[in-house]
Structure 1
Amino acid sequence: MSTTSSRKVYNMYERRQAIPIIYVRGTHYEVGFDVGRTFAALIREFVNVFKPLNEAFIPLYNSPQGQTVYNETLATVKQSFPQYIDELQGISDGAQVEFYKLFLLHMDEILPNVVDNNNSIDAPIGCSSICVNEPDSEVIGHTEDALSENLNNYYFVSAHIISTDPQGKYKVKEERFTSLCYAGHLPGYTMNYNHHGLVFSINTLSARKLNSGKTPRHFITRALLSAENFYQAQQILRDTGVGAADGCSINMTFLKQEGDRVFHNAEMGPAIDNNKESQLNILTVSPGECIMHCNKYLRLKVPEVTGLIIDSSIERMDTFQKFNKPKSKEDVIKMLGDTGAKDNQVFRDNAGVEEFLKTICVGIFDLKAKTWSIYKDNPKTNEPLVVLPMVLKE
């Protein structure tokens, strides 16, 4: 007797309607271990299929000069943030994936840039963020755009980390946050909020010259999850004493601030030459103003790479300029769901097909409602998959 099955063969380039979440409490290592153990299958799959890691980062890591850059950078992070190295070691042990592969993911383009003076990914990678600051609408909207291998390989981490002794250069004893994380990555480099009321999203920026022996942006944004106020956030981004190895843009606000709502966009650039501090330019907007940012420096004078990431950022910003100034959550959703551009749409999706880049999800932080909505599909035509409450420290 024969039977037919309606089961579909798994296609890694097809959107899955699922985002797993872990609620976890413990030390940095314990939290990392439980994240690694819980999401081991996702982490292993991602490490196995992520082309930049396997085709660029690991071969360079196996070279003498690559070993020097890797070891210098690891030593620097261990000195400043030993707790986050413990956390990453926990992910490594829990997932049973070699630590060096996970650390290479956090170094990102540093190895190919420093060793070969090369950006190994010539693709329109990047995210788009919009902040609206109106009397009746306070919103941060963000598209999470990444290489196609990331499409279904991410999860939420909602963590409460308690340390007996102060940890790292900023002497932190407690952290509590929720973050969207790529598989095998520390929290902090996508969309996030912490229990002090800091809400932020990240746009990758690609400086032409990166640094060995400085702090990779992934660890700076991980540290940002501990910030209690805007002063601490600036301190973390400047990373005085070391400075950033690479760059990014941070769109942020604090829910518990006094007075009118203000939003900040911080452009962070690599420390220059022997300077031991990140380059930093911060734009602050008051009620009635908005922020729009993609993947190109708009104010900080940092020489950038050329290629598709810049072309894509310019076209997405051009798309935003065709709209009226956004004044509501609905306006932000229309803009982040736009697919009208010729080459580089704001919402990127060629369903079920391998391509360089996809918008893997869209997040909308509604700061008045204190909710965080995540859309797996285009938010213009779909409901959010999940709406999370933002729980703050009393």
Structure 2
Amino acid sequence: MSIARLSVKAATNFGVGYKIGAAFKEHFHERCASAASKRLKQFYDSDHGRNVYENALLSTERCYPNIVQELRGLSDGSEVPFENLFLHSLASEIWLYYLDKDANPSPQATFNPPKKQENLRCTDILVNSRSCRIIGHNEDWQRECYGKGYVVDVEIDKQSNKPVNKTTSVKPVGKYNQTESACSETASHTKPHHKHKSIQQKISERNEQFVSFATPCELTGFTFAMNKYFVFTVNSLVPKESNTEGVPIAVLIRALMGARSIEECVQVMQNEPFGCCYGINLNIASIHTNEMWSMEVYSSKDGSSVSLKQLPFEDSETPQNHYVHTNHYKYTPGALELYDNLLYSCARHFTALHQDTPKSVKDVCRILGDTSNSEGPIYRQVVPTEKTATIATGLFDLKSKLMHVFDKNPNLSDPCFSIPFLK
């Protein structure tokens, strides 16, 4: 197996999406033909599923029309219908929440809800000391994505997107028959007529530069990623209720790639006044300071909230501990989870927490590659009887300023490649 790399430069979100979709078109179609993707479409074909989809799309168009354009670009480039791709942007909400509810499917569409614990994903190890500043992440997702993930280096120069001179001949792009300049007009109405801009407006108008691992049909950011200011990793969480008026998690995390301060990170995930559709854990480290945080987003039928925990910097050569996050809430007061006993998540958390304190990249790789607990291994090998596997590992070495990407067990292999931090 090998993880592909793609460098993308464009003037709009549509242009970025188009180039990614075109580059990985074959993988997009293979993903859409899978049983898991067909189940998402089956949910969409139900009355309840269509209502969930329409509410999420409306909220997204109001908050981040530029990201809707990015999805349209992905659709155009890959020749996959837009609704299929937006369904994948709702995949966490659908798989981890709605498919275990009464979705009221139509008589023509029946499905059996999956065992949701199989879909809980990812383990993170965080160390923040003078000798070792690392965030390591196992990306656990559907087995069908194994061998089809890719890393994209994205640069969007929105300031270069000037109005097209009427005398200039510009070739339209894709079935939407749009030029890159025309694509940005969808978001132009969001420019404020007052002094203070919302966080959505700030992020939408900015130039962006980031690196992210991604899987076919999904937005970038929703795995492990970095921009010029932060590194990010993502873990699924399962609150008991969903915020039906919120913006999908994947969309907000895509928007997070434009954040420049931890305050902006919080504001993006708060996403006032709509909030976030569902719960998620984000682990974030500053590239330029010794700061490191773990963020939990919690949803309820009344909205969503954000809890931020700053991890102490151990000012000694020997760190006293390391921090582990899997798929259950750790510090959000009063959080109600869909399951009382998340066996697989707790097993991975227990195994990782009771390892010797890591003092190097090699030590973190050892923990992330641990397979000692057969019921809930930290590194989840591809086996026919399991629907989920570790499809990639990302390790951010904040002292050496390198992002290491592994396509095999990191305790037993070298990285596919190592990417210097952005400057």
- Fold in common (TM above 0.5): yes
1:274 paired to 2:313: no
How far the C-alpha of 1:347 sits from its partner, in A, is 0.7
Match of 1:117 in 2: 101
| Whole-Å separation in 2 of the counterparts to 1:362 and 1:148 | 14
Q: Which residue of 2 aligns with 1:136?
A: 131
Which is strand-richer, 1 or 2? 1
Match of 1:154 among 140, 149, 152: 149
Q: Which residue in the other structure is 2:211 paired with? A: 178
Structure 1 vs Structure 2 CA RMSD: 2.0
- Show CA shifts across 1:133-188 (max 9, x none): 11121111010111101112211111111224887623232111011011111111
Contact 2:206 2:258 survives alignment (8 Å): no
2:364 is paired with a residue of what secondary structure? helix
Give matches, 1:296-375, under 5 Å.
296-300=328-332, 301-306=334-339, 310-350=342-382, 353=384, 355-375=386-406
* Aligned counterpart for 1:211 among listed residues 231, 243, 257: 243
**Which residue of structure 2 lines up, in the alignment, with residue 59 of structure 1?**
42
Instruction: Report deviation, 1:321.
Output: 2.7
Percent of aligned positions that are identical: 25
CA distance in 1, matches of 2:396, 2:94: 34
| Structure 1 residues 328-355: Cα deviation after superposition (integer angstroms, max 9, x where no partner) | 222211111111013110011146x352
- Hey, what's the Cα distance between the residues in 2 that align with 1:313 and 1:360? 17
> Residue type matched to 2:391 in 1?
I
Please point out which of 353, 375, 379 is paired with 2:410. Answer: 379
Alpha-carbon deviation of 1:281?
A: 1.2
1:27 aligned residue: 12
Q: Secondary structure at the match of 1:146?
A: strand
Relative to structure 1, the CA distance from residue 109 to residue 97 in structure 2 (aligned partners, 3 Å threshold; closer, same or farther) is same
Deviations along 1:89-126, one digit per CA (max 9) or x if unpaired, are 00001000000011011112535745862664524331
- Determine if the alignment matches structure 1 residue 73 to structure 2 residue 56: yes
In 2, distance between residues paired with 1:114 and 1:255? Answer: 37
Match of 1:126 among 121, 130, 137: 121
**Superposition TM-score, scaled by structure 1 size:** 0.88
* Partners of 1:253 and 1:263 within 8 A in 2: yes
Q: Distance in 2 between matches of 1:247 and 1:354?
A: 28
Q: Tell me the SS of whatever aligns to 2:27.
A: helix
Contact 1:177 1:192 in 2 (8 A): yes
Shift of 1:290: 3.1
Change (3 A) 1:211 1:379: same
Partner of 2:33: 48
Structure 1 residues 287-318: Cα deviation after superposition (integer angstroms, max 9, x where no partner)? 2253210011111132222289x211100011
Q: Please, which runs of 5 or more residues in structure 2 have no aligned partner?
A: 103-112, 160-183, 191-199, 315-320
1:32-70 alpha-carbon deviations (Å, 9 max, x no partner):
101111110111111111x33312x21221122322221
CA 1:375–1:307: 2 relative to 1, 3 Å? farther
CA gap 1:190/1:115 in 2 versus in 1, 3 angstroms: closer
- In structure 1, the residue matched to 2:312 is 286
Give the alignment's TM-score, normalised by structure 2.
Answer: 0.82
For the 8 Å contact 1:123–1:307, the answer to whether it is kept is no
